[in-house]
Amino acid sequence: MKEDKETVRHLPLSEATYCILLALSEPLHGYGIMQKVEAGSDGAVRIGPGTLYGALTTLEKEKLITPLDTVERRKRYALTDKGRSVLRAELRRLRLLTRLGEAVLEDHSFPSKAN
């Protein structure tokens, strides 16, 4: 599936941005995002407060997420439709890279289209 230019311009996502968008499959506040990313990655990915809040500001500015509400002084964020589209496009990109890597490691050659 060919992506539109607006979606493609956000790719590739950094690991932190990808994980933040995944975590926002449900509305969460910043600390909740950090916990969900760490738990979901079995501790392999940890996002510090500076990285997180910088990314949230950028993602909100790019309209990939939106502030939802404030609960006990904690701002909760939600994924927008645009954010979900970018996340899907990144997942397709990562699947392609994974297939390519598997092909090379299994066959020891870079796949090419036959003419």
Q: Helix (H) and strand (E) counts for the chain?
A: 5, 3
- Which structural domains are found in the chain, ordered by start? 5-107 (1.10.10.10)
112 or 60: whose pLDDT is higher? Answer: 60
Other beta carbons within 10 angstroms of residue 30's beta carbon come to 18
pLDDT band (50, 70, 90) for residue 108: confident
pLDDT at 72: 86
Q: Tell whether the model's pLDDT for residue 2 goes beyond 70.
A: no
Per residue in 70-89, pLDDT tens? 888 899 999 999 999 999 99
Would you state the pLDDT for residue 115?
45
Give residue 46's pLDDT.
96
